[in-house]
Amino acid sequence: MIKILSDSSTLYSIKEEQANNIDIAPLQVTINNKTYTEFEDIDSKQLIDLINEGHVPKSSQPSIGKVLELYQRYPEDEIINISMADGLSGTFQSAYTAKNLDENSERIEVINSKTLCGPHRYLVDLAVKLVEKGYTKERIIKDIKELIESSKSFLIPNDFDFLVRGGRLSHIVGKIGSAIKLVPVLSLSKDGTTLEKFATTRSFKKAMAKICDYLHELKVDDSYKIYITHGFSENLAKEAKEILLNKIKNADIVTRILSPAFITQGGPGCVAIQVIKRHVID
């Protein structure tokens, strides 16, 4: 039997994982000297409330021990662990180290998704479907890795300070951006390890126009899955969806609220636009 594992970059809670036949190693958030397991001890709204009280959060990856415990739940099964992007977090390294600690490590494949959140969730959901359809472990790995290369992610932050604290943006650039009210667009690098400057605009609408121009060049159409994830910025997420639907005919768009760990990284009010090519069975 093949078992699919991942982490809460997929925006899956423990309750949701059980309903979707996957196992999740949750990320953690520390705030006001207390550490919370996301979706279990704290949800995104509760984190926003603590931030609004003046507390500053930081996030951390699942422990090696937690991941090893998940592997050991299925000692007789083949395991595919699809991890969030290596470089943005130590999550992939924890998953890989835990694999090497398992007594039967050759049965475990750890895949670097080179992405996070929306496309990451898509890859995990797809892997479960492929298992159900009887695909071999080798074929599942091959198909997942091919789709990984089609993923692209953009982040439009609202609060530069969160990106600066997380090491995603330099202190000087963050202060200048805040002072002159720029709307930056950051993109996830091809290897998924860093956020890079994509564009700098004067409004959210212009930022979305830049993203749409790029998606047009990429030939993104209804054969792609499009995700809008946000840190409780419902109005901007709605505006982003309207713009995308106007630019991409029959666009398949899913909107979700970011998890506590990713609100910690991108900041309250941030909006992410992500795309990934859909599999032929989907």
CATH number for the domain spanning 81: value is 3.40.50.10170
Q: Identify whether 84 is part of a domain.
A: yes
**Which of 98, 118, 148 is the last residue before a domain boundary?**
148
> CA-CA distance, 94 to 103, in Å (whole number)?
16
Q: Which two tokens stand for residue 6?
A: 């991942």
At residue 178, does pLDDT exceed 60?
no
Query: 157 and 140 in one domain?
Result: no
Range of the domain at 251: 152-277
Q: Which helix (H) or strand (E) holds 77?
A: none
The number of domains in the chain is: 2
Query: 169 and 142 in one domain?
Result: no
Q: Identify whether 123 is part of a domain.
A: yes
Residue 95, exposed/middle/buried by CB under 10 A (0-12, 13-18, 19+)? buried
pLDDT > 70 in the chain, percent? 92
Helix (H, G, I), strand (E, B) or coil at 152: strand
> CA-CA distance, 51 to 45, in Å (whole number)?
10
Question: Mean pLDDT across the stretch 77-88?
Answer: 95
Give the per-residue pLDDT at 161.
Answer: 66
Give the per-residue pLDDT at 85.
Answer: 95
Helix (H, G, I), strand (E, B) or coil at 40: coil
Domain of 168, CATH number, reads 3.30.1180.10
Most confidently modeled of 61-65, 156-160, 194-198, 261-265? 61-65
Contact, 155 vs 185, CB < 8 A?
yes
